[in-house]
Structure 1
Amino acid sequence: MHETEEPGTGAPTGRRTADPRRSGRVSAATAGVMAAIRKHPKTWIAAGGAAALIILGTGSVALGATVGGESAAAGPATASAHPSATPAQKTPTPTPTPTATARPVPANQVAAARIRTCSVASLAQDGRLGNLEAQVVNATTGETLFDRNGGKPGPTASVLKTLTSAAALATLGPDYRVQTRVVAGSAPGQVVIIGGGDVTLSRLPGGQGAFYTGAPSIADLAAQTKQALGGQPVTSIVVDTSLFAGPQWQPSWDEHEERVVEGSTPYMTALMVDGDRDDPGAVESPRSTDPVGRAVTYFQQFLGTSVPVSSGTAPAGARQLAVVQSQPVTTLIDQAMQYSDNTIMEELARLVAIKTGAGNTFDAENAGVLAGLKGYGIDTTGIHIADGSGLSGDNAVPPSYLTKLFVKVMNGDNGLGVVYNGLPVSGQSGTLGPGYSRFTGANSVARGAVHAKTGWINNGYTLAGIVDSADGTKLTFAVFALGPVSDNAKQAIDTLVTGFYKCGDNLSNN
């Protein structure tokens, strides 16, 4: 390539440097060096290479000291000229290479988030679910996999029984038994029957054939009383039901539907027999308007007397004549969870409120149950307890609370294993078992894999519990289908939960 010069100056227009000899500015030293190079080219090439290595080596030492954290002292490096070179021809000391600065590295690097690909979005959009509130959690890692308004408190229906059970276990204890007693009255021959809140006390001799397993018998109570009196005739009966204060019916309940038509719930009094059922052996049966009167009638019958009956309280320090007791709290919870029995749960909620000092009314149950739940260490913000059974539409619990509580239930923390044992199992037992039309058809793939509490009230269907998913992952979940929903919401819930089962830990929140 030829270079051209800028007109009038003799300077080149290209990128090369002009030969200094042509410019007339060549020094004697420069001319000498160039002559030496022409005379001994190989020697000067070697010397130049050595100088370059020394320069690079100096820079490497400096860089290594910065990254490795150790200082290295390096003296000035020089290249030896050919023996025939003059001192003026020696290679000058190179300028040290600037020290390199290490690139900063974050102290805590964020791990890449897993991308989950199994979506149940279309199932969650099923119109039968109404206003959906739901959450799913990996029970091992605590990671939320799916959420639709999961932090919003909503009516739980009978899923609330899980909270009541947990509060009862923490407050009353798993071995606590409810007593019904008879003591001597203030007058000769007078006896006082004291209701302790046991709704399982049965009018059937020995409790045989009663709905409640292992129920104590009011016939036994009467027999003990007669034996303790030693033949002294009973002159009057006083009935002490002061343990529970009114009202006897929760104002938000539909009395005609629940007490008469459905037959699921009685007036809440401290003394009753067989949950005040007309049929003592039935799961559901119409209830009376006077549970106490019904119980006293059977007590009189077994005493063999028709003496006057009055309401009152037992004298302080009165001599005990007779006592019978319920099954332990663990047994009561097991049966109530399996068959969603409202009556036992109302009893337990009231006893919890009394034990915590909150009071002995429906209104006291909110403070009582929340106090009982405090020890589980889960934030109860937003929760409101209107009753113990979940029958009231005024109850409010976020699904996110239930997913956390069911992790503890699954692990059996603080005795909660009894709640797990009492949960209905999909297609196999309780209110998820045969006869309830749950997890059928395509959803039968999840039979036996869902341990959960069912719920239904006029403005919602609910299901919450634990899924043993197809990939082996343990999931906790809560699904509320709220609003103007109908009975077919149950099948939509089952389908959504079956989706959770199939997806397992690959469940996507999309």
Structure 2
Amino acid sequence: MLRERWVALVTLVLLQLFVVAAGAHLLTSDLLVEKAPGSATPAKPPPVPVVTAGPVLVAGGNGPLPAKGTLAGRLTEALGDPALGGHVGAAVLDVETGAMLFGSGADDGITPASTTKLATTVASLASLGPDARLRTRVVRGAAPGSIVLVGGGDPTLTARRPPAVPVYPQPASLASLALRTARALKAAGTTKVTVSYDDGLYTGPSIAPTWKPNYVPDGEAAPVTALMVDEGRVAPGSRQRVSDPSRAAYTAFVSLLSKYGVTVSKSGGRSKAPATAQEIARVESAPVYALAERTLTLSDNDMAEALARQVAIKEGRPASFEGAAAAVRQVLTRLKAAQGVQVFDGSGLSPKNRIAPAGLARLLAVAASPANPRLHPIVTGMPIAGFTGTLGHRFGKNDAVHGLIRAKTGTLNGVSTLAGMTTTRDGRLVTFAFMADDVPPGWGKAEAALDRLAAAVAAS
């Protein structure tokens, strides 16, 4: 039975990935259909429906419950692995009933590392809605002949040339924004402007006071600002981040504007756009559901921090680390999923974050519930064992669970966590969280131990 389940579900995974890839090849970058002044207009392709990979797991999860004694025996033995260290917690929940099937230190607050992103993305989908988008705009300034580049908090905004094969989800293009701005200005008879930028959507420090000082220099995240391009990286593929992402984005925009025939007579630097300013041009991010999926699949720290701040804005709180943490908890409270969740950032880089294994498993059960379709991108976004994201290289040669487990990983110094969902051998949908934050040195040993725990749940 296990082998047939594996074959069927892996086939479904591959089919879904094929559909996504086919859709991505058909999508055309916004920049590719726009033309520079004087060039020919290419034919615009027909619209293509956006398709995302659906859940691999059985949505109903209505098979029989696993035998508690068998599950407890397997997990208790595996939790004793010395690679996990001296502080380990575990929880396994039944999605349909919410019943705890197994717990060991389930209510202990444990450093979650990047499994914090589950709380952030659930809150963003519940508060903003899956179809919301982040906007980067250009508006008229207060003085005649002035314009302002206004950041909307989209870290995926890109200044790079579009790839030969369009990617999904497509990021907003700074070049498209510059070209649209140039066209609008010229249509109004303006060819010379003063340009400034407004990144005031966010408040407070751009680096969390709870982060370790090496995170930004090592490229774990960029300073969190409302205006940046390419996640604040100094070059494509580089881990190094610029010290002032807002200024770097502004400089790139000015250069592109000049390329499209508008003279920038003066650099205005940082400013505040008038509240009633006329919009000249805009570009928009992919929808929040796609941003949430990206955050989980790639464990994207910059996107997670941006989503947390967007939740703060939507919930009427300051768009700061402190305001975002409070807003995320506010939303989780509405979902009745805040118990055992205490966070200080959106990405999980903060070593002060504490989440109980039962809290993470409960959060995932809420996200997977048929009653919460707006939250289902959590399921489609989590890495798939042996296939995608941070689980693409995990679970080794354990082919029996490849494609059966979706989970978010978390790793910091001395911390290793894994939280996700799977179906049991008889088709029951369950969520789990295995967390250790006193892990001894030995790269990969704790991760392998967590993988064995998740595999034991799938085999139960």
Alignment-derived partner of residue 151 in structure 2: 195
Unaligned stretches of 5+ residues in structure 2: 1-66
Q: Does the Cα contact within 8 Å between 1:449 and 1:469 map onto a contact in 2?
A: no
State the TM-score, normalized to the length of structure 1.
0.71
Q: Does the Cα contact within 8 Å between 2:139 and 2:279 map onto a contact in 1?
A: yes
Alignment-derived partner of residue 217 in structure 2: 260
Cα distance in 1, alignment partners of residues 325 and 421 from structure 2: 26
Deviation at 1:285, TM superposition (A): 2.0
Cα distance in 1, alignment partners of residues 143 and 434 from structure 2: 58
> Could you say which structure has the greater relative contact order, defined with CA pairs below 8 angstroms and 6 or more residues apart?
2
Alignment-derived partner of residue 90 in structure 2: 134
1:380-419 to 2 correspondences below 5 Å: 380-412=338-370, 413-419=372-378
Alignment-derived partner of residue 455 in structure 2: 498
Q: Give the one of 170, 184, 189 matched to 1:214.
A: 170
Deviation at 1:300, TM superposition (A): 0.9
Which has the larger Rg? Answer: 1
Check if 1:331 corresponds to 2:290. Answer: yes
Deviation at 1:207, TM superposition (A): 7.1
Alignment-derived partner of residue 111 in structure 2: 155
1:34-433 to 2 correspondences below 5 Å: 116-118=69-71, 119-120=73-74, 121-130=76-85, 131-206=87-162, 213-230=169-186, 231-256=189-214, 258-261=215-218, 263-280=219-236, 282=237, 285-304=239-258, 305=263, 307-378=266-337, 380-412=338-370, 413-433=372-392
Change over 3 Å in CA distance of 1:272–1:211 after alignment to 2: farther
Cα distance in 2, alignment partners of residues 287 and 350 from structure 1: 20
Change over 3 Å in CA distance of 1:217–1:247 after alignment to 2: same
Change over 3 Å in CA distance of 1:317–1:138 after alignment to 2: closer
User: Match for 1:501: what amino acid?
Assistant: A
Cα distance in 2, alignment partners of residues 207 and 145 from structure 1: 47
Alignment-derived partner of residue 50 in structure 1: none
Cα distance in 2, alignment partners of residues 251 and 459 from structure 1: 20
Alignment-derived partner of residue 22 in structure 1: none
SS of the equivalent of 2:366 reads helix
Unaligned stretches of 5+ residues in structure 1: 1-113, 505-510
Cα distance in 2, alignment partners of residues 368 and 457 from structure 1: 24
Q: What do the CA deviations read for 1:22-76 (whole angstroms, capped 9, x no partner)?
A: xxxxxxxxxxxxxxxxxxxxxxxxxxxxxxxxxxxxxxxxxxxxxxxxxxxxxxx
Change over 3 Å in CA distance of 1:483–1:208 after alignment to 2: farther
Cα distance in 1, alignment partners of residues 291 and 132 from structure 2: 10
Deviation at 1:428, TM superposition (A): 1.2
Q: Does the Cα contact within 8 Å between 2:199 and 2:225 map onto a contact in 1?
A: yes
User: Match for 1:173: what amino acid?
Assistant: G
User: Please, which moves more after superposition, 209-218 or 233-242?
Assistant: 209-218
Q: Does the Cα contact within 8 Å between 2:68 and 2:102 map onto a contact in 1?
A: no
Cα distance in 2, alignment partners of residues 342 and 150 from structure 1: 26
Q: Does the Cα contact within 8 Å between 2:339 and 2:359 map onto a contact in 1?
A: no
Q: Does the Cα contact within 8 Å between 1:393 and 1:459 map onto a contact in 2?
A: no
User: Match for 1:239: what amino acid?
Assistant: Y
Change over 3 Å in CA distance of 1:313–1:251 after alignment to 2: same
Alignment-derived partner of residue 419 in structure 2: 464
Pairwise CA RMSD: 2.0
Change over 3 Å in CA distance of 1:499–1:395 after alignment to 2: same
Deviation at 1:408, TM superposition (A): 2.4
Cα distance in 1, alignment partners of residues 384 and 363 from structure 2: 18
Change over 3 Å in CA distance of 1:382–1:499 after alignment to 2: closer
